[in-house]
């Protein structure tokens, strides 16, 4: 015997709902599976949405900056005298450093000529502004307002005045997604500037560590300065990553692990620079 018409309607609508949910779930899992590979190029929908969002994110970023400028201005006014003294001291120190830097450049050039070393790759900096942040706990990334149209490509290193910020993960015509150094899937080759030991810097979600798999027990010490290594052609060596705050002993007390204090303040990222390598010939042509 058939159920009454009102019950049949309910059953049909429940069935439709279940079918819609199941189809949606299947589509979602298929999407996850398809996009789970190591993909760097942004797909058409991603490009479209990024281009669509770009003006809004730019405007929102601009408004946020103005608000921060105003609140920062008020705060600075309150500490103007102290700030002034500190800045004067900083200027004196920088003038001294500039002189020292000029001397070191000359000395470096002379030594390179004496050793007949080939010229290092030069780099161009593209300034960009952070216009959006990934809210997720798992994938720490920011979006910058420069993309393929401005000469940015995947794998380039992003820095600011404090040091290495991250790597360009995906590029759309007007924007790029930068994976931050603290992200769990971030990795970059590094060098200990004290002893020249090579290692790998890895993100840990809320921190950064450096491992020296081939280094001895003395590969890393507290206070060591870690900079980028020379192994990745897209990334210039010697960029400041951070200082070692603490040392732990890894597998069977053999591999030393340095807990890094990154130079960059990731909570207040604003202006960044993308480092674009240029072969020496290209620079000469310009």
Partner 1 sequence: MRYWVLAAILGVAFLAQTTVVGFLQIGGVAPNLLQAVVVSYGLLFGPQVGAVAGALAGLLRDVAFGRYIGLSVLSLGAVGWVAGLVERRVYKENPLLPVLGGLLSTFLAEGIHYAVLRLLDPDLVAAVPVSRRVLPGALYTTAVTFLAYRRILRAYAYLRPESGGVIRSVRRR
Instruction: Enumerate binding residues for partner 1 (CB under 8 A).
Output: 17, 21, 24-25, 27-32, 34-36, 45-46, 49-50, 53, 56-57, 60-61, 64, 68, 131-139, 141-143, 177, 184-185, 202-206, 266-268
Tell me how far apart the alpha carbons of residues 181 and 260 are, in angstroms, rounded to a whole number.
Answer: 11
Cβ proximity to partner 1: between 176 and 276 the closer is: 176
Shortest separation between residue 35's beta carbon and partner 1, angstroms: 4
Shortest separation between residue 1's beta carbon and partner 1, angstroms: 26
Helix 80-115 crosses helix 44-78 at what angle (to 10 degrees)? Answer: 130
Cβ proximity to partner 1: between 62 and 79 the closer is: 62
Cβ proximity to partner 1: between 11 and 108 the closer is: 11
For residue 199, give every residue at least 6 positions away whose Cβ sits within 8 Å of its Cβ, in sequence order, or none: 189, 190, 191, 192, 210, 211, 212, 213, 215, 219, 220, 226, 229, 258
CA 91 to chain centre: 29
Shortest separation between residue 252's beta carbon and partner 1, angstroms: 18
Cβ proximity to partner 1: between 185 and 222 the closer is: 185
Tell me how far apart the alpha carbons of residues 212 and 256 are, in angstroms, rounded to a whole number.
Answer: 6
Cβ proximity to partner 1: between 174 and 236 the closer is: 174
Shortest separation between residue 273's beta carbon and partner 1, angstroms: 20
Cβ proximity to partner 1: between 11 and 64 the closer is: 64
Cβ proximity to partner 1: between 132 and 276 the closer is: 132
CB 150 within 8 A of CB 160: no
Cβ proximity to partner 1: between 56 and 79 the closer is: 56
Tell me how far apart the alpha carbons of residues 212 and 24 are, in angstroms, rounded to a whole number.
Answer: 46
- Residue 140, CA distances (Å) to 15, 98, 117, 145 in order: 40, 35, 39, 17
Local structure of residue 269 (DSSP, 8 states): -
Shortest separation between residue 27's beta carbon and partner 1, angstroms: 8
CB 108 within 8 A of CB 102: no
Cα angle 12, 16, 17 (rounded to 5 degrees) comes to 120
Shortest separation between residue 43's beta carbon and partner 1, angstroms: 8
CA 187 to chain centre: 10
Shortest separation between residue 11's beta carbon and partner 1, angstroms: 17
For residue 264, give every residue at least 6 positions away whose Cβ sits within 8 Å of its Cβ, in sequence order, or none: 160, 162, 163, 164, 165, 181
For residue 206, give every residue at least 6 positions away whose Cβ sits within 8 Å of its Cβ, in sequence order, or none: 182
Shortest separation between residue 65's beta carbon and partner 1, angstroms: 10
């Amino acid at each position: 015997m058939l159920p009454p018409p009102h019950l049949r309607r309910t059953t049909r609508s429940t069935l439709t709902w279940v079918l819609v949910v199941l189809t949606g779930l299947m589509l979602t899992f298929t999407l996850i599976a398809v996009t789970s590979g190591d993909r760097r190029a942004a797909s058409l929908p991603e490009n479209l949405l990024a281009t669509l969002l770009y003006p809004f994110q730019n405007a929102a970023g601009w408004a946020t900056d103005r608000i921060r400028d105003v609140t920062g201005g008020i705060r600075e006014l309150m500490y103007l005298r102290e700030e002034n003294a500190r800045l004067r001291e900083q200027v004196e120190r920088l003038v001294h450093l500039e002189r020292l830097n000029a001397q070191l450049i000359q000395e470096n050039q002379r030594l390179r000529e004496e050793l007949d070393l080939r010229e290092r790759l030069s780099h161009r900096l593209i300034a960009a502004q952070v216009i959006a942040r990934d809210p997720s706990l798992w994938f720490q990334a920011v979006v910058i307002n420069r993309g393929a149209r401005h000469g940015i490509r995947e794998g380039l290193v992003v820095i600011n005045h404090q040091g290495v910020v991250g790597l360009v993960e995906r590029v759309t015509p007007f924007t790029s997604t930068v994976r931050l150094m603290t992200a769990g899937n971030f990795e970059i080759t590094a060098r200990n500037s004290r002893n020249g030991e090579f290692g790998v810097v890895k993100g840990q979600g809320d921190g950064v560590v450096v491992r020296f798999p081939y280094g001895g027990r003395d590969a890393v010490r507290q206070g060591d300065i870690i900079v980028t290594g020379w192994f990745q052609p897209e990334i210039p060596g010697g960029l400041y990553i951070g200082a070692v705050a603490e040392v732990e002993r890894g597998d069977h007390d053999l591999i030393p692990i340095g807990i890094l204090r990154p130079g960059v303040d990731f909570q207040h990222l604003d202006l960044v620079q993308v480092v674009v390598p240029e072969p020496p010939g290209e620079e000469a042509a310009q």
